[in-house]
Amino acid sequence: MHSPFSLSTLIPPEALGSDAVTATLLHANRVILGTEKGSLLVFDLSNASTSISPPSATLVSKHEGFCKKAVDQLGVIKELNGLLCLSGGDLTLHSLPTFALLSSFSAQSRGAASLFALSTYIHQPPAAPPRRSNTSRAAPMAPSSPEIRTTLALACRRRLVLLAWIDGAWQTPSELALPHQIRGMAFDERKIVAGFSTGEYGIITLPAAKAAASEAPSLGELFTPTMPAVEKAKAIPAGLGGLGNVMGLGALGGLSLGAKKLEKNGVVAVPRAGKGKAKDDGGKSSDGATSGAWLWGKEWGWEDEEKEKETKEGEVLVVRENIAIPLTSSGKPRTSTPSSIIYPSFTDETLVVSPYIISLLAAPPPSLAPGSSSSSTSLSPSLAIHNIDTLAPVQTLAVPPPPISPPSSIAEGSDLKLPDPAAQQPFTARLLTVASSSAQPPLLLLTSRPPPGSASAAAAAPVEQTLWIVTMKSWQSQIEELGQAGAWEEGIRLVRRSGANGGMDLPPPLLRRLAVLHSLALFTEHRYDLAIDAFISLDITPSKVVSLYPHAISGKLHIEHAGHEELFGGRPQHKVAAAIEDEIMRKHEAEEEEKKRIEEEKKKAPASPARKGKVAAAVDDDDASSIRSGIGRLKGKASWIKDSSDVLEQIADRAAIDAERQAKLDAKRYATSVDELIRYLTDRRQKYAQALATLLPSARPAPSSPRARASGAELLELPDEPLTNLSPDQLARVAQVVDTALFKAYLATKPVMVGPLCRIDNWCEVEEVEELLLAAKKYQELLDLYNGKNMHEKAVKLLRQMADDEEDPEEKVGPTIRYLQKLGADHVTVIFESSRWVFEADRAAALEIFIADLEEVESLPRHATMAHLERIGSDVCITYLEHIIHTLGEEGSEFHEKLIELYLAAVHRPNGSGSDEAYQKLLDLLESSTSYRADRMLGRLPSEDMHEVRAILLGRLGRHEGALQIYVYQLEDHATAEEYCKRVYDSDASMRPTIFHLLLRIYLRPRPSHPLLFGPALSLISSHASSIDAIEVFDLLPPLVALGDIRVFLEKTLRRSGERVREGKVVRSIGRAEVDEEEGQLVDLEERRVKITEGRVCPQCHKRLGNSVIAIHSPRGEVTHYQCREKFQEMNS
Amino acid sequence: MSSSRRKVLLKVIILGDSGVGKTSLMNQYVNKRFSNQYKATIGADFLTKEVMVDDRLVTMQLWDTAGQERFQSLGVAFYRGADCCVLVYDVNSAKSFETLDSWRDEFLIQASPRDPENFPFVVIGNKIDMEEGKRMVSQKRAMTWCQSKGNIPYFETSAKEAINVEQGFQAACKNALQQEGEADIYSDYPDAIKINSHDADQGYGCAC
């Protein structure tokens, strides 16, 4: 527990004098003390709110005889600038700072006033009626400025006097008769909760502010709060060491009977938390995290508190005897437990300084606690400080503090006469009442009065009294202190409760830090949805969020549970770890103890069916166990002896069930947390995509570009900022973290989603992800991932591994082939590299990598492919080249030549298998293709062999004679030679007259070594007589030829020449006829008709044409005299 | 079935490349209108239509999205809670068909449906009114794809001529309802009790 308060001397005894101080007031840095003898002491307080130097007070003035009697209570009405003083049953109002008497309320109090309570609030009158309707008339009454309303409740025996001021103007007082005397009361807005001397309570409702005059205040029914504490009171003091046990019981008994009159029945006002204001402010500010809006928002997990606050009821604290109970202003106790505080001894005074309840506890009288003298550590009064929300004890301060504790005051040197240790001389601390007009800092004063040591001077002797100041540490240091113990949440609650400021005055960095810690707390409380929302709104870097998850998801980002707090701005890891260890130790010890206790109990407890039944009933809610216990019961009937062991067994069973249930719950929580993580990560995915989109394309990192591996620590150091503020490199890291974590989350909970993630653009870190995918045997997804990242080498490696496990030969290579087919020209090296083993595995199938009818495959660079395939083997290369040449229409000479070479090589292969086929293909190609260079090919030819090839090539080169020689001499294939000639004759016009002569010459003028080929020559001339010039044939023919041999030729030639003559004649006649026709047409076209009238004039001589001879001119048909025609033509030409 | 009388709201999200006719399809289905003018959708917009499916009044909330930007301006929340996703492509554009895969994947990631394997998709090949020569994606190819993705229903439509549009959305609606029904069944029952989880091995053999 932290200790927010410290006690130090403010005014030493010598300055206070000997008059017993009976009332204190703090107002505007003035400490006003009222004494027993009716005088006022005014001190100036400095440094009260700063922690730099200790507060000090100097005496400003002393007003002797301010009142006639002891000052009972002091108060201030700020807007009146007036000091209220209750003394001798009367109330007086004095002006500040002169203390002149302003008015006395003795008429109302009639000397019977015992205490008063003050309430000041600002009343906002309802808005003026709608202006549009009556703008002019409404003008005088329109401005409805807020009013300050002050109500003073004065308890006078069995009356309650209500005095009121509105904006400082006195209102007519009202009075209320009461059934009993009021012992304590407190305001909550328009209600007063009053504690009566009977121990009952009543709620006095003040009339609504609007109708102040007409309505009278009313008192509701009296009630005694249903005190759960009554039962508890019996047990708890015993637990506390019997302190005040007897007394407590006695007092409570009296209380419930209502017989005994109570001297004290305090009601303490609890200031309302200022969250409304904070909420409004939060709305304006855009940055929710630093403005403190998160301290209240429902989305930050405060909805339960929110609900409580929305009931609109304030709280008061009812204090009597040693119990303090918070009640709502309608008189209901809290529903949460504990609903009350039970102090070890009576409370003298209680105060609420949000978020603390501070009570001054009287020193337990030794006589009342006879059995507890040993355990009671101190007989001096003490200050007990409790949290108002949880009612948990926070701190206890001894009054006065042990001498060592206020070293500062000793150092001051102002109060050397510190009272002696409390054990020797019991102190009575009497007053604690503070009426402070300043809201902050919460500061309170305390007077402790050590009576003089000698008993003789009990009453009259001058008392030695000291005014102490109880200062509260700044919120910041309190939070820090709590944080050191890991109680950040408590610190945050503290801020929430700390009054009107609502945490707004905390420095933004601290507020943010708390918000971050709160988000972590939400996470650890398994409120994952809220936590994730918080993480998003705080822009916590994803790596930190991911690190909260178990190793399976966070991977290298994983951090031990103990380290989470440090990561989110809390305690360092080793401290948390130590704290956890302590806790475990303690738990362990407690368990051990519990075990022992059970053992003992087991030994002691006789076998009792009732007990067993109870246990059975306890486990009844679980089916399995109920069955088991049912069986147990049956067994139990049979043998009672076994009972006790049954009980133990059942306890063990129950533990097992509990464990199972816990495991189930854990699993459910884990699933929820991962679901929320997925939500978070998909959200982040969008955010980083947006952030990336805003970057310039040149600066934008690409998911597939290689990136050095970042260690977990590096990633955790990414700043907690909106993603758009990050540098491109940081952004890339964030994206990696997000996608990798998303991947792992999917793998853990929704394996189906891994596929889609791998297929779309992603930033997964391959090194991390691939192992997982391999382990999960998600090869297809891994391939998709590699593919997306352009990591094809890895992909094909994987494919190869997969192939090794595959039995079916088709399936062995199929996936690899399909994968490679899709890669395209950019990854040609990968394709080549990996195609090798595929070729080894299945040559025919592997070819599909290169010849499949797919766009990507066709785009592969053909030269490189050819070179690659040639290395694989000439047969595949041949198939490939045939594919591209014949199917794809490749015209590049390199390919054709390469194919020719390959064919040549194939033909020459020694084993000769398929060489015929290859040879045929070669010839076909050579014949059909035009894309090779024949001379080069000719050079490649072996000198001896392959005459056909050579002939074709020679023919290509235009060396028809050479080609024909080959046909004739080497191949002796006259038909082909003839065919060749025919082809040339048809295709090449320039060779037409001579090609057959070439052949004929070869036949008839052979090389010396060859015989005359008379036969073929004759068949040639007889079959191609028309294409061969007869004269040359006669030149070539040997001088002696049988006429019969050349008869066909001669006939054909003669017929041909006759045919030519006749043909010439026909052509000539046709030509003539055409000329005639043309001429006739020309005459027709040139024929013109002109009309010569009386008035028509020759354009040349401008005389009338009359009956004279005329000439008509082409082409426009002008008409002139005949004799004028030459002149006219000259002129117009 | 107790839920059958309840009024149902279905959130249907229409995705696809830009210019494939998402907005036109929606407009044709809801408003029975078609405009030849192309106007790029900005962000997202939705129309609602009430339909009767098996005696059930169903309100379909059809979310039309901008195909031009991928999931960037729309929050994750937009996709969450979707009951059905309609993937649209243009039969005259091979590219718009090829991107269906990534649209589907993106959707699954963003929407994180409870049961991604059986999440109801519907594929619509739009613009079949164009002349046959322009067509780039054959019906067979589209059907094969749909089959490979878990038998996604496939429709060929023309928003312009109002061909098959009604049927396509009707299928989307039915599938979504069916899915929802199944989800309800699952959520109503707590974890199944495993009868033979750990007592199973005790039943075999004798104990000696």
Give the domain CATH number at B76.
3.40.50.300
B68 touches chain A (CB under 8 A): no
**Residue A1075: band (very low, low, confident or very high) from pLDDT cuts 50, 70, 90:** very high
- CB burial of A1060-1098 (b: ≥16 within 10 Å; e: otherwise) equals eeeeeeeeeeeeeeeeeeeeeeeeeeeeeeeeeeeeeeb
Cα–Cα dist A227/A333, whole Å: 8
> Other C-beta atoms within 10 Å of A294: how many?
26
Q: Are residues A862 and A920 in the same domain?
A: no
pLDDT over 70, % of chain A: 60
Structural domain contains residue A915 = yes
Using the beta-carbon criterion (under 8 Å), do A756 and B72 form an inter-chain contact? no
Cα–Cα dist A903/A719, whole Å: 68
Its ipTM equals: 0.71
Residue finishing a domain among A395, A416, A445: A395
Shortest Cα distance from A826 to chain B (angstroms)? 20
Which positions in chain B touch A687 (Cβ < 8 Å)?
Answer: none
Arithmetic mean of pLDDT, A722-738: 78
Using the beta-carbon criterion (under 8 Å), do B112 and A753 form an inter-chain contact? yes
Domain limits at A389?
231-246+264-269+315-395
Cα–Cα dist A611/A976, whole Å: 119
Arithmetic mean of pLDDT, A1064-1069: 94
Strand partners, A444: A470
A690 touches chain B (CB under 8 A): yes
Question: What is the residue-wise DSSP string for A33-90?
Answer: EEETTS-EEEEEEESSS-SSS--EEEEEEEETTSSSS-EEEEEEETTTTEEEEEETTE
Q: Are residues A900 and A1027 in the same domain?
A: yes
> Other C-beta atoms within 10 Å of B88: how many?
29
Nearest residue on chain B to A664, judged by CA atoms?
Answer: B191
Q: Is A194 helix (H, G, I), strand (E, B) or coil?
A: strand
Provide the pLDDT for residue A1079. 93
| CB contact set of A662 (below 8 Å; sequence gap of 6+) | none
Q: Are residues A349 and A386 in the same domain?
A: yes
Higher pLDDT, A614 or A344: A344
Which positions in chain B touch A760 (Cβ < 8 Å)?
Answer: 102, 105-106, 109
Interface residue of B79, B85, B112 to substitute, partner A, most A CBs within 10 Å: B112
Using the beta-carbon criterion (under 8 Å), do B102 and A759 form an inter-chain contact? yes
Q: Are residues A842 and A911 in the same domain?
A: no
In A993-1042, which residue ranges form alpha helices assigned H by DSSP? Answer: 995-1004, 1014-1023, 1030-1036
Using the beta-carbon criterion (under 8 Å), do A693 and B80 form an inter-chain contact? no
Q: Is residue A63 over pLDDT 60?
A: yes
Provide the pLDDT for residue A1063. 92
Highest mean pLDDT: which of A41-55, A176-190, A220-234, A1070-1084?
A1070-1084
Residue carrying structure tokens 């005397």: A181
Nearest residue on chain B to A686, judged by CA atoms?
Answer: B72
B112 touches chain A (CB under 8 A): yes
Q: Is residue A519 over pLDDT 50?
A: yes
Provide the pLDDT for residue A737. 81
Contact A475, A494 (CB under 8 A): yes
How many domains, in total, are found in chain B?
A: 1
Q: Which of B73, B74, B101 sits opposite A759 (nearest CB)?
A: B101
Cα–Cα dist A455/A477, whole Å: 44
pLDDT over 90, % of chain A: 2
Provide the pLDDT for residue A196. 76
Predicted structure pTM score: 0.59
Shortest Cα distance from B45 to chain A (angstroms)? 19
A759 touches chain B (CB under 8 A): yes
Shortest Cα distance from B16 to chain A (angstroms)? 15
Q: Is B49 helix (H, G, I), strand (E, B) or coil?
A: strand
Higher pLDDT, A384 or A380: A384
A756 touches chain B (CB under 8 A): yes
B148 touches chain A (CB under 8 A): no
Q: What is the pLDDT of residues B14-41, one digit of tens each?
A: 888 888 888 889 889 988 888 888 777 7
Arithmetic mean of pLDDT, A743-752: 80
Q: How close are the terminal C-alpha atoms of chain B, in Å? A: 52
Q: Are residues A1102 and A1049 in the same domain?
A: no
Which positions in chain A touch B74 (Cβ < 8 Å)?
Answer: 686
A750 touches chain B (CB under 8 A): yes
**Amino acid present at A1063:** E
Nearest residue on chain A to B74, judged by CA atoms?
Answer: A686
Q: Are residues A1102 and A979 in the same domain?
A: no
Q: Are residues A981 and A1114 in the same domain?
A: no
Provide the pLDDT for residue A130. 44
Q: What are residue A290's phi and psi, to 5 degrees?
A: -95, -15
Arithmetic mean of pLDDT, A395-411: 52
Q: Which of A675, A693, A760 sits opposite B109 (nearest CB)?
A: A760
Residue finishing a domain among A331, A365, A395: A395
Provide the pLDDT for residue A126. 56
Residue finishing a domain among A395, A415, A433: A395
Contact A732, A695 (CB under 8 A): no
Q: Are residues A932 and A961 in the same domain?
A: yes
C-alpha gyration radius of chain B: 21
Interface residue of A628, A661, A686, A761 to substitute, partner B, most B CBs within 10 Å: A686
Q: What is the pLDDT of residues A327-344, one digit of tens each?
A: 766 666 666 666 677 777
Contact A478, A2 (CB under 8 A): yes
Q: Is residue A361 over pLDDT 60?
A: yes
Interface residue of A622, A676, A739, A760 to substitute, partner B, most B CBs within 10 Å: A760
To the nearest whole number, what is the mean pLDDT of chain A?
69
Which positions in chain B touch A664 (Cβ < 8 Å)?
Answer: 191
Using the beta-carbon criterion (under 8 Å), do B76 and A686 form an inter-chain contact? yes
Using the beta-carbon criterion (under 8 Å), do A689 and B109 form an inter-chain contact? no
C-alpha gyration radius of chain A: 58
Q: Is residue A33 over pLDDT 50?
A: yes
Interface residue of B71, B76, B78 to substitute, partner A, most A CBs within 10 Å: B76
**Residue A173: band (very low, low, confident or very high) from pLDDT cuts 50, 70, 90:** confident
Which positions in chain B touch A756 (Cβ < 8 Å)?
Answer: 104-106, 108-109, 116
A684 touches chain B (CB under 8 A): no
Q: What is the pLDDT of residues B145-204, one digit of tens each?
A: 999 888 889 999 998 888 888 888 888 888 888 877 665 544 444 444 445 544 444 444
Using the beta-carbon criterion (under 8 Å), do A760 and B105 form an inter-chain contact? yes
Using the beta-carbon criterion (under 8 Å), do A753 and B108 form an inter-chain contact? yes
Nearest residue on chain A to B117, judged by CA atoms?
Answer: A752
Q: Which of A686, A690, A756 sits opposite B105 (nearest CB)?
A: A756
**Residue A1061: band (very low, low, confident or very high) from pLDDT cuts 50, 70, 90:** very high
Strand partners, A385: A358, A395
Strand partners, A269: A316
Q: Which of B70, B109, B117 sits opposite A682 (nearest CB)?
A: B109
Asked if omega into A1115 is within 30° of 0 (cis), the reply is: yes
Measured CA distances, A94 to A32, A89, A151 (Å): 13, 16, 17
> Tokens representing A1023?
């079959």
Domain limits at B92?
8-188
Using the beta-carbon criterion (under 8 Å), do B109 and A756 form an inter-chain contact? yes
Arithmetic mean of pLDDT, A172-188: 76
Q: Are residues A946 and A1040 in the same domain?
A: yes
Arithmetic mean of pLDDT, A906-931: 68
Nearest residue on chain B to A755, judged by CA atoms?
Answer: B105
Asked if omega into A365 is within 30° of 0 (cis), the reply is: no
Q: What is the pLDDT of residues A482-505, one digit of tens each?
A: 766 666 666 666 666 654 454 456
Q: What is the pLDDT of residues A775-830, one digit of tens each?
A: 777 777 777 777 777 777 777 777 777 777 767 666 677 777 777 777 777 777 77
B191 touches chain A (CB under 8 A): yes
Arithmetic mean of pLDDT, A665-682: 82
B183 touches chain A (CB under 8 A): no
Using the beta-carbon criterion (under 8 Å), do B102 and A760 form an inter-chain contact? yes
Structural domain contains residue A224 = no
| CB contact set of B140 (below 8 Å; sequence gap of 6+) | none
Higher pLDDT, B77 or A607: B77
Contact A151, A192 (CB under 8 A): no
Cα–Cα dist A978/A969, whole Å: 13
Structural domain contains residue A644 = no
Provide the pLDDT for residue A461. 46
B110 touches chain A (CB under 8 A): yes
Nearest residue on chain A to B80, judged by CA atoms?
Answer: A679
Q: Which of A675, A690, A757 sits opposite B109 (nearest CB)?
A: A757
> Other C-beta atoms within 10 Å of A505: how many?
13
Cα–Cα dist A162/A176, whole Å: 8
Q: Are residues A1115 and A1030 in the same domain?
A: no
How many domains, in total, are found in chain A?
A: 4
B116 touches chain A (CB under 8 A): yes
Strand partners, A73: A86
Nearest to A565 by CA among A513, A528, A529, A530: A513
Provide the pLDDT for residue A142. 44
Using the beta-carbon criterion (under 8 Å), do B117 and A752 form an inter-chain contact? yes
Shortest Cα distance from B173 to chain A (angstroms)? 24
Count residue pairs from A and B with Cβ separation < 8 A: 52
Determine whether A175 is exposed, middle or buried from the number of CB atoms within 10 Å of its CB (0-12, 13-18, 19+). Answer: middle
Tell me which residues of chain A, numbers 590 to 649, contact chain B at a CB-CB cutoff of 8 Å.
Answer: 623
> Tokens representing A1030?
């007869």
Q: Is residue A423 over pLDDT 70?
A: no
Residues present in chain A in total: 1133
Structural domain contains residue A1131 = yes
> Tokens representing A620?
């009844």
Q: Are residues A810 and A878 in the same domain?
A: yes
- CB burial of A372-383 (b: ≥16 within 10 Å; e: otherwise) equals beeebebbbbbb
Using the beta-carbon criterion (under 8 Å), do B110 and A682 form an inter-chain contact? yes
Structural domain contains residue A650 = no
Q: Are residues A869 and A975 in the same domain?
A: no
Provide the pLDDT for residue A281. 35
For the packed helices B22-31 and B165-188, what is the interaxial angle rounded to 10 degrees?
90
Cα–Cα dist A1026/B7, whole Å: 98
Structural domain contains residue A721 = no
Contact B36, B86 (CB under 8 A): no
Structural domain contains residue A340 = yes
Q: Is residue A1070 over pLDDT 90?
A: yes
Using the beta-carbon criterion (under 8 Å), do B116 and A750 form an inter-chain contact? yes
Structural domain contains residue A1032 = yes
Residue carrying structure tokens 């102090």: A343
Provide the pLDDT for residue A457. 37
Q: What is the pLDDT of residues A587-605, one digit of tens each?
A: 778 888 888 877 777 676 5
Shortest Cα distance from A753 to chain B (angstroms)? 7
